[in-house]
Amino acid sequence: MSFQVKQTIKGTTYVYETKGKWDKVKKQCRHERVCIGKLDPISGELIPSKKNDNPILSKDYGNYYLLDSITKQCGLIEILSKVFPKTWKKILTCAFYELCEKKPMYLCEEWNDLTVTPCNKQLTSQRISDLFKEISYDDRMEFFKKWGNVRAEQEYIAFDITSISSYSKLIEMVETGYNRDEENLPQINLGMLFGEISLFPIFYNLYPSSINDVKTLSNMLKLTEFLEMKKMKFVMDKGFFSKVNVDEMMKKSKKYKFSVAVPFSTSFAKDAVDVVREKIDLPSNAIIIRDDVTHAVTINQKWGAKKIYTHVYFNKDKYATDEKTFLKKILLLEQEILTQNRIDANEKRYEKYFKIRNLKTGIKVQRIDKNIKEALKHKGYFVVISNDIKNANEALEIYRNKDVVEKSFDNLKNATRFL
C-alpha cells in the first residue's frame, strides 16, 4: 500500500510517495520514500520530478477517442464551437458522459476524474446546473438551424411523435390524457426529427398532449421554416396523413420531399387498391425487401396540378395472418352472442357482422358474409405516397427505415429522468 506525504524544505514543498515494505529480518514494516515532484507555489499543482518515470494519474481514453472521432467526422464539433464558443467543450463533456454512463448528471464529477474529456476540467453538479441555465432558447434554435441544414442535405428525415409521462409541476404543457399504450397519465408530447441513415437526432420540440399528430406536423413545418432548413425529406407513418398536410407540403414541393403512409380510413387508399387489385399479385410485380417477398405497383397520378407517386403493396403472408386473426375475432364475437355474454364495447360489431334472431328454441346467429369480406378487402395491403421517390422498392425500404425513430424513442423513454 502506498500514500503521499508532503515536506517543506527552505520554502519548497516536496511530494513523496511512501510505500510500505515488510522487513523479514526485523519482523516489522518499513517505509521507503521516493520524491515524485514538488508543488507549484501559485497553482498548488504537482510538478513531476524529471527522474520520475511512473505515471501520476491514469485516465480512460477509449470512449473519448471514439466519440471525439465521430463528432469531428459528422461536423458536430464545428457547429457547437460556433454556436457556443465559450462553453462547447463543457456541453460536449456532458453529452459524452450521458452516452457512456446513462446516469444522473450529478455523478458526472466522479466520472470526469477518471476519464479524458473535451474540457479536461472538473465539472461539479453546480457547474453543470449553471451551464444548462446559460443555454438560452435562441442558442438552441441557432444550433438546430445549423445542425439541421447539414443533416437534411445528406439524408431523409424521419419524423414522429411520442408521449412521455411526467409528474412535473413546472412544465405548463403537461396534460392528463391517454398515451399510445392506453394509459391515462399526466404526459407531454415529444416530436423529433431523426436522420434515417446516420440515426442522429436532429431537432426536438415539446407539445401539449391534446395536440394530435396531424396538427403537430403542421407546427413542425413552421418550425423548419423558422430554422431556415433549406431542404427537407420527410418519411412519416399514417398518423400524419391528411389532405391539409399533403397540400401544404405539395405547395412547397421544391423544399419538402416526403413519403407518407396512407390509412384505409381514407377513400384515397381504398381507390388506389381497387385500381391495382387485379394485377398486383402477378409474378412480374414481386419485389424483395430484407428477405421478405411482397408485390408492388406504382401509380403515377396528380395531386392538384402536381405529380405524385402512389405505391401500393400487397403481402400474401401478411394477408393470411391478418385474415386468420380477423376470422378468429369473428368466431369469438359469435360465441359471445350465443352464450349471452355480450360485451357493450362490441355491440357495433355484433350489428355489423351478424344477423341475430331470438327464437323460442334459442338464439340464431347468421354471419353477414358481405360485411366480413369487405372488412378483409384491404388486409395485406399497404399504401405510400411520395412526391420524390418513383421506385416502389426504394420507397418501401426508406419507409421501413423509419423504425429508427421508434427505437430511439424507446431508448429515450428508458433513460428519461429530466421530466
The reply to whether 34 falls in a domain is: yes
Mean pLDDT (whole number) for 130-141: 91
Query: Where is average pLDDT lowest: 41-50, 60-69, 212-221?
Result: 212-221
Q: Residue 360, class by beta-carbon neighbours within 10 Å (0-12 exposed, 13-18 middle, 19+ buried)?
A: exposed
Instruction: Name which residue leads in pLDDT, 358 or 22.
Output: 358
Among 312, 306, 323, CA closest to 277: 312
Q: What is d(CA 33, CA 36) in angstroms, rounded to the nearest whole number?
A: 9
Residue 328 belongs to domain spanning? 317-376
Mean pLDDT (whole number) for 247-265: 87
The answer on 94 and 30 residing in a single domain is: no
The answer on 66 and 43 residing in a single domain is: no
The reply to whether 18 falls in a domain is: yes
* Residue 209 pLDDT class (50, 70, 90 cuts): low
pLDDT tens readout for residues 370-402: 999 999 999 999 999 999 999 999 999 888 877
Residue 177 has pLDDT above 80, yes or no: no
Residue 323 has pLDDT above 80, yes or no: yes
**Total structural domains within the chain:** 4
Q: Residue 16, class by beta-carbon neighbours within 10 Å (0-12 exposed, 13-18 middle, 19+ buried)?
A: middle
Contact 246/281 with Cβ under 8 angstroms? no
Q: Is the four-CA dihedral 131, 132, 133, 134 of positive or negative sign?
A: positive
The pLDDT assigned to 304 comes to 86
* Residue 79 pLDDT class (50, 70, 90 cuts): very high
Mean pLDDT (whole number) for 22-46: 78
The reply to whether 26 falls in a domain is: yes
Instruction: Name which residue leads in pLDDT, 360 or 92.
Output: 92
Task: For residue 139, give the C-alpha cell.
Answer: 442558442
Q: What percent of the chain has pLDDT over 70?
A: 86
* Residue 169 pLDDT class (50, 70, 90 cuts): low
Query: Where is average pLDDT lowest: 11-15, 20-24, 253-257, 344-348?
Result: 20-24
The reply to whether 372 falls in a domain is: yes
pLDDT tens readout for residues 187-208: 777 778 888 778 788 888 877 7
Residue 179: left (phi > 0), alpha (psi -120 to 50), or beta? Answer: beta
Contact 244/266 with Cβ under 8 angstroms? no
Contact 253/387 with Cβ under 8 angstroms? yes
The reply to whether 324 falls in a domain is: yes
The answer on 225 and 155 residing in a single domain is: yes
Q: What is d(CA 66, CA 61) in angstroms, rounded to the nearest whole number?
A: 9
The pLDDT assigned to 55 comes to 58
- The top-scoring range by mean pLDDT among 95-104, 208-217, 218-227, 401-410 is 95-104
Task: For residue 407, give the C-alpha cell.
Answer: 427505437
CA distances from 355 to 165, 196, 253, 328, 337 (A): 44, 49, 50, 18, 11
pLDDT tens readout for residues 102-123: 888 888 888 888 888 998 778 8
Q: What is d(CA 271, CA 301) in angstroms, rounded to the nearest whole number?
A: 12
Instruction: Name which residue leads in pLDDT, 188 or 67.
Output: 67
Average pLDDT, the chain: 84
The answer on 229 and 165 residing in a single domain is: yes
The pLDDT assigned to 184 comes to 57
The reply to whether 387 falls in a domain is: no
Which of residues 87, 111, 135 is at a domain's end?
135
The answer on 31 and 74 residing in a single domain is: no
The answer on 227 and 156 residing in a single domain is: yes
Q: What is d(CA 284, CA 43) in angstroms, rounded to the nearest whole number?
A: 78
Instruction: Name which residue leads in pLDDT, 91 or 176.
Output: 91
The reply to whether 265 falls in a domain is: no
The answer on 79 and 42 residing in a single domain is: no
The answer on 26 and 95 residing in a single domain is: no
Residue 298 has pLDDT above 80, yes or no: yes
Residues present in the chain in total: 419
Residue with cell 507549484: 40
The answer on 121 and 194 residing in a single domain is: no
The pLDDT assigned to 419 comes to 39
The pLDDT assigned to 417 comes to 41
Residue 182 has pLDDT above 60, yes or no: no
Q: Is the four-CA dihedral 265, 305, 233, 79 of positive or negative sign?
A: negative
The answer on 29 and 97 residing in a single domain is: no
- What's at 220, amino acid-wise? M
| Three-class DSSP labels, the chain | CEEEEEEEECCEEEEEEEEEEEECCCCEEEEEEEEEEEECCCCCCEEECCCCCCCCCCCECHHHHHHHHHHHHCCHHHHHHHHCCCCHHHHHHHHHHHHHHCCCHHHHHHHHHHECCCCCCCCCHHHHHHHHHHCCHHHHHHHHHHHHHHHHCCCCEEEEEEEEECCCCCCCCCEEEECCCCCEEEEEEEEEEEECCCCCEEEEEEEECCCCHHHHHHHHHHHHHHCCCCCEEEEECHHHCCHHHHHHHHHCCCCEEEEEECCCCCHHHHHHHHHHCCCCCCHHHEEEECCEEEEEEEEEEEECCEEEEEEEEECHHHHHHHHHHHHHHHHHHHHHHHCCCCCHHHHHHHHHHEEEEEECCEEEEEECHHHHHHHHCCCCEEEEEECCCCCHHHHHHHHHCCHHHHHHHHHHHHHCCCC
The answer on 115 and 76 residing in a single domain is: yes
- The top-scoring range by mean pLDDT among 28-37, 45-54, 161-170, 271-280 is 271-280
Query: Where is average pLDDT lowest: 39-48, 88-97, 205-214?
Result: 205-214
Residue 1, Cβ neighbours under 10 Å: how many?
6
Query: Where is average pLDDT lowest: 39-48, 136-145, 154-163, 206-215?
Result: 206-215
The answer on 121 and 159 residing in a single domain is: no
Which of residues 78, 110, 135 is at a domain's end?
135
Say what the pTM is.
0.67
The reply to whether 288 falls in a domain is: no
The pLDDT assigned to 175 comes to 63
